[in-house]
Amino acid sequence: MAFIDYYQVLGVSKDASQEEIKKAFRKLARKYHPDLNPNDKEAEQKFKAVNEANEVLGNPENRAKYDKYGEHWQQGEAYEKARQQQQQNSGRTGGNPFEGYTYESFGGGGDYSDFFSSIFGNQGGSYRKGSASGKFKGQDIEAALNLFLSQVQQTHQQTFEINGKKVRITIPAGAYDGQQIKLKGYGQQGFNGGPAGDLFITFNIQNDTPFERDGDDLRLVKEIDLYTALLGGPVMVDTLDGQVKLNVKPFTQNDSTTRLKGKGFPVYKGEGKHGDLYLTFKIKLPTRLSDREKELFEQLKNLQS
């Protein structure tokens, strides 16, 4: 597999801050998101590449390994353990740290790539130990999954590819932004028969609705005219389940709030449970009045005084 420059994928420099990397990722993820580019294979591939780059550079620990080991960053931990083990072997035998290994047609160079090839093998050759050595768990993988708020209002499945594996997960209704789940054994393959690493998926939820989410509750600004505010009356209100009719009380004040119980967001893993919907009323004043309307308002003004 050809080496991929993740900095180039995100369009940032190698000394970019984590905030700059985060902004670049979000911008490109929105640009190439499959929901915004249906049936566009090129956009789909770019979206996968952007997510892969963010898995590495968006995590300071992974980024440090990538900067140090390059394309072998995922085996960095195993490399360090293997190197320490070899140093210990060297101290015990007083000789070559590769004692007990056989060499097979591998071109040496002394850099990280050569050492990784000697430990993990490549097409050019490998070192193989005659007896079993320590088993190391594979590298964990972190991934970001972009979702829309309208998607997580109901339980659904998502399928995507990570590290060459097709992964299908069920996302319960009510999942929240920044939430992280773990899929055991879906990370990098273990070293020397060790267990595979884990896959950590973080939900990146973007709001594509007129509502503002506040935990399990939703908030919505509702405009009403002056006459409805003064006299009261029915208005139609948007909810996740469609429109409902609400009777506005007479003399409703601007910025006053009312609650619609059970019309909020689904509670995460709370079967059938929902938060509440809070409406804030904004009174819309008329911008033009006829002469007759002005006359009537003047009469009302005099009556009030």
pTM: 0.54
Name the phi and psi angles at 157, rounded to 5: -105, 150
- Residue with more model confidence, 172 or 114: 172
pLDDT in tens, 27-41: 898 888 877 888 888
Decide if pLDDT at 253 tops 80: yes
pLDDT in tens, 211-220: 999 999 999 9
81 pLDDT band (50/70/90 cuts)? low
Q: Which residue has the tokens 């990098």?
A: 188
Closest CA to 238 of 258, 215, 214, 221: 221
Q: What is the pLDDT of residue 196?
A: 87
Q: Which residue type is seen at 224?
A: I
**3-class DSSP assignment, residue 259:** strand
Give the H/E segment covering residue 101. strand 101-104
Q: What is the pLDDT of residue 98?
A: 36
Q: What is the pLDDT of residue 126?
A: 32
Q: What is the pLDDT of residue 171?
A: 92
Q: What is the pLDDT of residue 69?
A: 78
Q: What is the gyration radius of the CA atoms in the chain, in angstroms?
A: 30
| Residue 196 CB coordination number (10 Å) | 19
139 pLDDT band (50/70/90 cuts)? confident
Name the phi and psi angles at 170, rounded to 5: -100, 125
What burial class does residue 194 get, using C-beta atoms within 10 Å of its C-beta: 0-12 exposed, 13-18 middle, 19+ buried? Answer: middle
Residues whose CB is less than 8 angstroms from the CB of residue 157 and which lie 6 or more positions away in sequence, other chains included: 168, 169, 170, 171
Q: What is the pLDDT of residue 123?
A: 35
Average pLDDT rounded to a whole number, residues 223-249: 93
Decide if pLDDT at 48 tops 90: no
d(CA 160, CA 126): 33
Residue percentage of the chain with pLDDT more than 70: 78
Instruction: Report yes or no: 211 and 278 within 8 Å, Cβ to Cβ.
Output: no
Residues whose CB is less than 8 angstroms from the CB of residue 144 and which lie 6 or more positions away in sequence, other chains included: 25, 29, 51, 54, 55, 58, 201, 202, 203, 204
